[in-house]
Amino acid sequence: MGDYGLLSDRHSAALVSRTGAVDWLCFPRFDSAAVFAALLDDRAGTWTIRPRGPADSTRAYVGDSMVLRTTFTTPTGTLALTDALATGPGDDPHRLGAHAPHVLIRSVTCTAGTADITVTCRPRPEYGLVAPLLTVCDGGVLARGGPAVLALTSPVPLDADGEEATGTATLRAGDTLSFALHWAPLGGPEPRVWGQDELAAELAHTLAAWEAWSRTHQAYTGPWKEQVHRSGRVLQALSYQPTGAVVAAPTTSLPEDPGGVRNWDYRYAWVRDAAFTMDALWVAACPDEADEFFSFMAAAAASGWSRAHLQIVYGVGGEHDLTERELPHLAGWAASRPVRVGNDAWRQPQLDVYGELLDTAARFEEQLRSRPPLCAFLAGLADAAAEAWREPDHGIWEIRGEPRHFLYSKLMCWVALDRAVRLAGSLTGDGDGDGDGGGGGGGGGGDRLGVGGRAERWRAARDEVRDAILAHGWNPAVGAYTQSFGADDLDASALMLSLTGFLPADDPRVLATVDAVDARLTDARGLVRRYRTAAGVDGLAGEEGSFLLCTFWLAQAQALAGRADRARAVFERAAAHANDLGLLAEQVHPRTGEPLGNFPQAFSHIGLVNAAWAIARAEGTAG
């Protein structure tokens, strides 16, 4: 899966292989049924533009954009294939993709010599269930079947007699041919065949729009600048412009265990992942997107601001019901079944989400001014954390086993209450008063949440949570903070004790936990596992790979502890698993090094950004 590059118009996403195959495309949203899904089954649709005969390929994103260019070198000439999801009209970099026309553009240019190309387009809407009727039209092919109509623009004649449209062409130096696939809903305005000049202009505009966003949003100048900026663009590419939602990944069912059952749909807006994304964009980009994100969260949870109504994941349009189902007609990546759409994690109680949202709010506290409904929403989260922190839950890793008293869930309830107290302005000075904490938004400055005396109740609950973690989270026999109260198993999420400011990074208990994770949860490659699946905590069969986010957490914890050299080494090990385009998967196979899980993964790019920032600060090179 590391063979693929990502395209995005901030509505939907496509994955393009280095051989010129679009093997994944969802229109008109990230979570829509795929038009091309050869990623999960060769029969489920693809669109290839490639040289005829043998060719070597290299590729890169064009400038500071998400426009992909693949260069093919053949025995007779060189071709440059430029791919983009059109972002549409509009010159405001703060609203990138606001008017995306749902068009995939593919433009091929012969830059030297001559070369033959072959074009094969085999759309299969509804994840391969529909084989649409193809009819040749002036300038291309129309595909009708299922809930949409597709218009394929082709400047070369195509044969559409069977279930696919095919054609060939010869290009000479200086020749350019532009193709496009335009989606439209059945019963709406018809999609159309585009002119060559129109496509050239649309492609140029999309490139300029991405570069304008990068130019106005990305100011980080510390170490690994290019990787941080690339990660920032990937996170922006995974955001849904109409609502401000952020998807965890643009794909479904890419396996964590090849041939196994750990295959999930990640095309939704997890509260946790989206909050982490906002934090990373604070480093990698400017905070404009935070306004959209908070507005989305408040609207998505608008059925009631009690904990009973705050789900841990929503659809990108704010949908609540994400009921999971299987697609038995698909073989799955590397025969990994089942292929799933939807995600039943929406039903789970996960107490950490209160902390992640309030921690992000504290970072972007200026966005709270003059927004009473949002402040009421955040105050309700703090109330929920104060009420629910004693309960067991399914934890950050969304286990499908029995609920437990997970350390990380308790920790993030503490974070929720700590940040709420700070935002309310009930404490002054360092905002903590006990010398043990640190992170989060500022203290003082008035009652930002407009909650009056409720802040004292939050403070009392915060101290109770803290006492419980100190009393029950530490396992003296293990010599570390463990996965859950009373457990012997390690969990990489314990690294967040210092990252959240719960304990100082040089506290002996924190250092012991960091060293325990480093020694006992790392694989032979030096990458960190979330936990040991053999313990059975997650209720699933099989194993999983090492987790890149957790590896970046280790680098960040080492940096905060003043161990900059160790932090750099860990960072480099994790970052080395990006593909040639700088894209990171969720996990890495501990033996083969192959990428695992949905791709590219927001969590991994978030981890890279935050670890780079922590190391820059530790070395005094942050910029």
pLDDT tens-digit series, residues 230-271: 999 999 999 999 998 999 999 999 999 999 999 999 999 998
pLDDT at 432: 44
Q: Say if residue 430's pLDDT is above 70.
A: no
Cα dist from 77 to 57, 82, 107, 337, 535, whole Å: 12, 17, 17, 42, 56
User: CA 106, 51, 596 angle in degrees (round to 5)?
Assistant: 70
Q: Tell me which of 449 and 328 has the higher pLDDT.
A: 328
Do the domains 218-431+451-619 and 4-195+202-215 match in fold? no
**Is residue 434 classed as helix, strand or coil in its secondary structure?**
coil
Structure-token pair, residue 311: 């789900």
- The yes-or-no verdict on residue 440 having pLDDT over 50 is no
CATH number of 218-431+451-619: 1.50.10.10
Please give the pLDDT value at position 302.
60
Q: How far apart are the first and last CA of the chain?
A: 33
* Residue 290: strand, helix, or coil: helix
Is residue 490 scored above 60 in pLDDT?
yes
Q: For the chain, give the number of residues.
A: 623
Of these ranges, 3-7, 293-297, 345-349, 364-368, the one predicted with the greatest mean pLDDT is 3-7
pLDDT at 286: 60
What is the pLDDT confidence band of residue 518, given thresholds at 50, 70 and 90? very high
Written as six digits, the tokens of 100 are 């995306």
Closest CA to 106 of 46, 47, 171, 166: 47
Type of residue found at 200: A
CA 598, CA 253: separation in Å to the nearest integer? 7
* DSSP for 133-159, written as a single string: EEEEETTEEEEEETTEEEEEE-SS--B
d(CA 99, CA 157): 30
CATH class belonging to 4-195+202-215: mainly beta
Cα–Cα distance measured from residue 472 to residue 87, given in angstroms and rounded to the nearest whole number? 51
Contact in structure between 57 and 71 (CB atoms under 8 Å): yes
Average pLDDT over the chain reads 91
pLDDT in tens, 82-138: 999 999 998 888 899 999 999 999 999 999 999 999 999 999 999 999 999 999 999
- The domain spans of the chain are 4-195+202-215, 218-431+451-619
Percent share of the chain, pLDDT over 70: 92
At 623 the pLDDT is: 62
Confidence of residue 373 (pLDDT cuts 50, 70, 90): confident
**Cβ contact 5:68 at 8 Å:** yes
Give the model confidence (pLDDT) of 145-164 as tens digits.
989 999 999 999 999 977 89
